[in-house]
Structure 1
Amino acid sequence: MNRRFLPVAVAITATTALVLTGCGSGDRDDDSSDKIKGAGGGDKDASASAGASAKPNGAKRPEVKLPKSFKVGFEGWTNSDPKLQAILDDGKERLLASYAAIINKDPKYNAFTFYSESDALRTGTTWIKGFTDKNLVLIGSGRVFQPQPRISPDGSGTLFYCVDEGKGSTKDTKTGKVTATPADDALVLYRTKLSKNKEGIWKTTMVQTERGACE
């Protein structure tokens, strides 16, 4: 069943909501679920307000730091399969890096460009500039839950997850105005594709978002 995805232009103008990742084009796997059911579940991992995830394979990865003014909690972000855990680790860092790019007012933030390539790099940069050009930063908190990592037969990866933006807001650094995310628009489903490079790093190549697809 085809669905209409939130375009980048909407993500840029919808500053009343965080819309925490830029959207891109791309096909989803046929065996992937359209919706992730349930708004809870999973053990709560430590809040990712600062620091980086574990660095599998010993590859050197940039450190991602978020200020105390914006925290992100990840729930159920573990998998018994080390290959799938590697996708979770790098997908998590890419998401945190996109937040950090906004807060640091830097669309070329090194960790964001490190974990992004292809369509995800282009659309993500445009999305970040939609905040930075308007002097907006993120405050409050976000919750990321119900991750679904997979490795396709061709060796590429997919990572679906839900984000609850209900406790997050944007702040205009010039005027001090704070705009909260509307409660009825807070849950967002993310569909991402990843590609593993020769250093063993899973880089995000495509991102699609859909509001209302997490139940």
Structure 2
Amino acid sequence: MKHRTLPTAIALATTATLLLTACSSGSDDSSSDKIKGAGTQSSTSPSASAAPSDTAAGRPKITLPKSFQADFQGWTNSDSKKQAILDDGRQELLAEYAAIIEGNPDSKAVAFYTDDAADQSARKWIKGFVDDDLVLTGRATVSKPQVSIADDGSGVLFYCVDESKGSTKNTKTGEVERTPQNSKARVQYRNRLDKTSQGVWKTRYSETERGGC
């Protein structure tokens, strides 16, 4: 898959500082050694995502087709504030997957869960698929979440996406290209989120690293 990077060096430096702070913080319920083989949480069905329970902020409904599944493993935390970050971080990724499949870089759901640099990079990422007539098929496994709250109140979220069972399909030719079965199929996402006055944790900055997991 194509992956996005931050559009400015300043944004990257800011996010990197927050991420390093998060990595050096104490452990919580989402540590990687508690994820393997237990505590699996996935979408309620292959065709629909699990939405956060708080719908007061007008969170959009995000639906994925049966041709592509996103399974979230170990996506729980005993701290309610960190769980809220996980929930909205999950919805942000699902919104982007749905937008790619729908061929819609201007997705309202993506706009709902992203802002600033993350919104720009997400739209550029989605548009790259659309311009090449590609959609996602297969399965992505999203695991090893690490969530932290920085001193300034921002949320920091790391997670890994295993794309080894995913593919891209050309909508015009029908040709399917599978993701290579190597370490590059595992991608680390690094996000910074800020909470809005409506209670939504919006992703402000995001970057990815192939093989980062």
Report TM bin, short chain.
Answer: 0.7 to 0.9
- Following TM superposition, by how much is the alpha carbon of 1:46 offset from its aligned partner in structure 2, in angstroms? 2.5
Partners of 1:163 and 1:81 lie apart in 2 by 23
Residues 32-65 of structure 1, C-alpha deviations (whole Å, 9 max, x = no match): 439x977x61522133641342233732200000
Partners of 2:91 and 2:4 lie apart in 1 by 15
Residues 76-99 of structure 1, C-alpha deviations (whole Å, 9 max, x = no match): 001111100000000000000000
- Following TM superposition, by how much is the alpha carbon of 1:111 offset from its aligned partner in structure 2, in angstroms? 0.7
Counterpart of 2:122, as a letter, is G
Structure 2 partner of 1:204: 203
Q: Gaps spanning 5+ residues in structure 1: where?
A: 1-17
Q: 1:8-157, aligned counterparts within 5 Å?
A: 18-19=1-2, 22-24=4-6, 25-26=11-12, 27-28=15-16, 29=18, 30-33=20-23, 41=36, 42-47=38-43, 49=46, 50-56=48-54, 58-157=56-155
Of structures 1 and 2, the one with the larger relative CO (CA 8 A, separation 6+) is 1
The number of residue pairs the alignment matches comes to 194
Please say which of residues 74-83 and 23-32 is displaced more in the overlay.
Answer: 23-32
Q: What TM-score does the superposition give when structure 2 sets the normalisation length?
A: 0.85
Q: What TM-score does the superposition give when structure 1 sets the normalisation length?
A: 0.84
Q: Gaps spanning 5+ residues in structure 2: where?
A: 25-30
Q: Which protein has the bigger helix share? A: 2
Structure 1 partner of 2:192: 193
Partners of 2:74 and 2:50 lie apart in 1 by 17
Paired residues of 2:22 and 2:147 also in contact (CA < 8 A): no
The sequence identity of aligned pairs, in percent, is 47
Counterpart of 2:180, as a letter, is P
Please say which of residues 192-201 and 50-59 is displaced more in the overlay.
Answer: 50-59
